[in-house]
Each structure stands twice: as structure tokens, then as C-alpha cells.
């Protein structure tokens, strides 16, 4: 995440998170053989990806404030559970 924050601070608009994206692809490749429709598996992966990026952007201004970061992360976890 530190690398993401550095790029974001420099104004980079499109940051690819290769570890996250490969993990999401792996998750999709497991869901489909378990009976998920390919479109549904892809939709879930994209939903999680959007949520993760939104959470990173919410946390960015609070780097160095551990208490606020924990608060934003907890709120993000609740939002994810609701999704």
C-alpha cells in the first residue's frame, strides 16, 4: 500500500495493484468450478476491487494517524460485509 500512496500523492490516476488483481483472478478461477456463473464471479471480484480502491482513497489523507486508519478500515469492513 505504501507504494500505492506514493504514486497517488504524485497524481498517478491509474494504479494497477498486481497482487490484488492476481488474487481476485485466482478467486474467480476457484468460484467458477464451484458452480458460480462466470459473470457472477467476475462481478463479485470487480465489486471487491472497487471497494478496496475506494477504501485506499479514503485512508490516504490519514497516513500517520493510526487511530483514524483503524476507524476507516473498520467502517470499510462493515461496508464490505453489507455488499
Answer whether residue 70 shows pLDDT above 80: yes
Within a domain: 18: no
pLDDT digits (tens, 9 = 90+) for 20-68: 889 999 999 999 999 999 999 999 999 999 998 889 888 888 888 889 9
d(CA 31, CA 27): 6
What is the pLDDT at residue 36? 94
Answer whether residue 80 shows pLDDT above 70: yes
In total, how many domains does the chain have? 1
What is the pLDDT at residue 5? 81
- Render 1-69 in DSSP notation, one character per residue: -HHHHHHHHTT------HHHHHHHHHHHHHHTTTT--HHHHHHHHHHHHHHHHHHHHHHGGGTT-HHHH
The domain in which residue 71 lies consists of 34-83
Answer whether residue 1 shows pLDDT above 80: no
Within a domain: 80: yes
Within a domain: 60: yes
Amino acid at each position: 500500500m505504501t507504494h500505492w500512496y506514493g504514486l497517488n500523492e504524485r497524481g498517478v490516476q491509474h494504479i494497477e495493484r498486481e497482487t490484488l488483481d492476481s488474487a481476485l483472478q485466482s478467486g474467480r478461477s476457484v468460484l467458477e468450478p464451484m458452480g458460480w456463473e462466470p459473470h457472477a464471479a467476475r462481478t463479485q471480484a470487480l465489486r471487491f476491487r472497487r471497494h478496496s480502491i475506494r477504501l485506499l482513497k479514503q485512508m490516504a489523507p490519514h497516513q500517520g494517524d493510526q487511530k483514524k486508519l483503524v476507524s476507516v478500515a473498520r467502517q470499510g469492513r462493515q461496508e464490505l460485509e453489507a455488499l
